[in-house]
Amino acid sequence: MTDEIAPAISDENLESLDWAVLESKYTVTLREKLANLPTSPGCYLMKNASGEIIYIGKAKVLRNRVRQYFQKGADHTRRTRRMVREIDDLTWIATDTELEALILESNLIKKHHPNYNVRLRDDKSYPYIAITLSDEWPRVEFKRKLRMQPKETDKYFGPYTDSEAVRETMRLIRRVFRVPCGFKHPELSKGKACMYYHIGQCTGVCAGKVSRQEYMAVIDDVMAFLSGKREELVSRLLKQMEDASENLEFEKAARLRDQIQAIQTLVARQKVISTALEDQDVIAMVADECNTIAEMFFIRGGKLIGQEHFLLDNACEDDLNESLREFIEQHYDTAPYIPREVLVNAEIAELDIIESWLRQKRGTKVAVHSPKRGERKQLVEMAKKNADLVLKQIKLKMATDQQRVDEQLSELQEALDLPTLPRRIEAYDISNIQGQYTVASLVVFENGQPKKAHYRKFKIRLSEGKPDDYASMKEALSRRLTGTLRKGEAFVQLPDLMLIDGGKGQLNAALEVIGESGEWRAESEESWMPPVVGLAKQNEEVYKPGRPDPILLPRNSKALHLIQRIRDEAHRFAVTYHRSLRGKTMRASVLNQIPGIGPTRRRALIKHFGSVEKIKSATVDELASAPTMGKSAAAAVYDYFHREEDQ
């Protein structure tokens, strides 16, 4: 890391920087760092006033690239303008080559997840089919998460979008190639074949019916099938069928015939979309004012074998080239297979570095093209057309979802006679066991959806040791309305509705705190009506200030379903924290009683063994092997638990 600062600013290129802005907004340290940026390749890390990394980039020349963000009249995208306004500090890491900078950038982004870097919006894990070549007898397995260790030899195929389609492919592989999904080692099976062998869907490897050489030939056929090389596979199977027929092995020939027919049926369903008969990935990225979609076609041997679309955050219409580059880095960093050619719908800056990086990961040359004419251009246009359709579907779904949410909120506003549409709802719940380990939860819903970044949990202090839900609720609301929490950016604005879990008693406790805080104060005390309600669990009664009787919403009411969902989420969040706190305290309380075991050793023991039960069952030598522990401390722990057992 380079943080050295020169005493003076003398570079003539600094004249282009907007020093008026820098003087008024940025720290002296940042301005001096801009003056002393190196001319080498490397990565730069932008930070906000809180010290959080908000953007990570790479550069061929760090000095030129970083200073571009602060130049007078720079034509920045909206994303970049927002980011520059937040920059308060920067650091950098110099590298020897730009390729090293690209690899470092990818690793740093995965580690820090900066807010302004393009990233995949959905964090779901896509299914893969794995061939466990690292095993002596490889298996074909369904994998939900890709794990590629440096020395691992397993082969992965995917990702696939539909898990049921993957399972159907697994069933087809078992039926056609007779490869089991799992089996005992032949030496452990004692000659007993599995169920699949008896129904004709296993080679009998589990019972030693085939040699390893024969079994590996079947595995090679499975990999060829999954790789899209199905014509080659069919040709090889036809030759094997003819040989088996000539050798009068009619049962084997019939089995091969059935395999060929099954594969040919599948191949006939696939459309040849490229006469080049090559392996290609086609990527088209489109965006509107709200969403960005990257559509991918996976072409193997000229046939389209799959497609997928990805939603991206922090990408926009006026920055598609840079967004496309960042997407390629993220996708191929963990991709199990990289084809020889990648087609894209926009020019990518520093293309040679991207190709070098892909070549390094694949092992052979990889070409990235943005075609202007011909068949490749048509493939890109087809991918772009599909991306546009996905974008339209997302916009339609968002509009439908928003309409549904608006209907729920409007119904809730009308039912509770609220002054405004309850876009932001805060819900509170208390959890304890006979007054012990008392905690409170605060969950936030905006536009009918949970906003988990604003969830908060409170360890209740004043009423600890005695069950008093009213006092606990008062403390939680006081810390929300008048404590340091109120000063935070997330809670500067008051909610449109406060939802208290409980009946009249909890509601009155909340009103008392709200009254003392001075919030929602009206000119006339008589008209004072804060937007807070209590929801009693027993009959789902809604209690509102100023009304002696509860409001009973219809059981099929959208408004009731919404507040039930929010109430249940507040309860779940409180109970989860309560259990966590109680578990930690109980674990620590046992170890507290052992002489010579202080806080450091307690934490080390729990971290090393994972639970008190495992500590109890450990030997003296195992206990001594834990960090910070010695023979005498280990003996003290061992003697304590075993003496307790004897007693």
Instruction: Kindly report the CATH number assigned to the domain that includes residue 52.
Output: 3.40.1440.10
**pLDDT for res 426:** 95
The residue ranges of the chain whose pLDDT is under 50 are 1-17, 19-24, 123, 148-151, 269-271, 523-524, 644-645, 647
Domain boundary among 269, 288, 314: 269
3-state SS assignment for residue 456: strand
pTM of the shown model: 0.53
Residues in the chain: 647
Q: Count other C-beta atoms under 10 Å from residue 500's C-beta.
A: 28
> What pLDDT does residue 542 have?
92
Same-domain status, 497 and 622: no
- Domain contains 362: yes
pLDDT at 616: 84
Residue 20, pLDDT score = 46
Q: Are residues 64 and 98 in the same domain?
A: yes
What's the pLDDT score for residue 455?
A: 93
Give Dmax over CA atoms of the chain in angstroms: 102
Instruction: Please report the pLDDT score of residue 422 as a whole number.
Output: 93
Q: Which of 87, 117, 147 is the last residue of a domain?
A: 117
Is residue 491 within 8 Å of 454, Cβ to Cβ?
yes
- Residues 150, 233, single domain; the answer is yes
Q: Would the CA dihedral through 516, 518, 524, 529 be positive or negative?
A: negative
> Does residue 407 lie within any of the structural domains?
no
Is the same domain home to 185 and 156?
yes
Locate all alpha helices (DSSP H) within 228-367, ordered by sequence: 230-246, 250-269, 320-334, 351-362
Residue numbers of the domain that contains 628 = 593-646
Give the number of domains in the chain. Answer: 5
Q: Phi first, then psi: what are they for 430, rounded to 5°?
A: -115, 140
The dihedral formed by the CA atoms of 586, 587, 593 and 595, expressed in degrees to the nearest 10: -160
292 and 359 in a single domain? The answer is yes
**CATH number, domain containing residue 474:** 3.30.420.340
| Domain final position from 238, 269, 300 | 269
Report whether 328 contacts 283 (CB < 8 A): yes
19/132 Cα distance (integer angstroms): 59
The answer to whether residue 581 is domain-embedded is no
Q: What is the CATH number of the domain that holds 284?
A: 3.30.420.10
| Same-domain status, 462 and 372 | no
Check whether residue 199 and residue 264 sit in a common domain.
yes
Q: Are 4 and 35 in contact (CB under 8 A)?
A: no
User: Distance between CA atoms of 416 and 150, rounded to whole angstroms?
Assistant: 60
Pair (435, 560) in one structural domain: yes
User: Does residue 116 contact residue 314 with C-beta atoms inside 8 Å?
Assistant: yes
At 445 the pLDDT is: 94
| Residue 375, pLDDT score | 85
Residues 429 and 464 in one domain: yes
Kindly state whether residues 431 and 571 are assigned to the same domain.
yes
569 within 8 A of 586, measured Cβ to Cβ? no
DSSP secondary structure code for residue 202 in this structure: S
| pLDDT value for 644 | 47
Q: In this structure, are 458 and 553 located in the same domain?
A: yes
Question: Do both 167 and 82 map to the same domain?
Answer: no
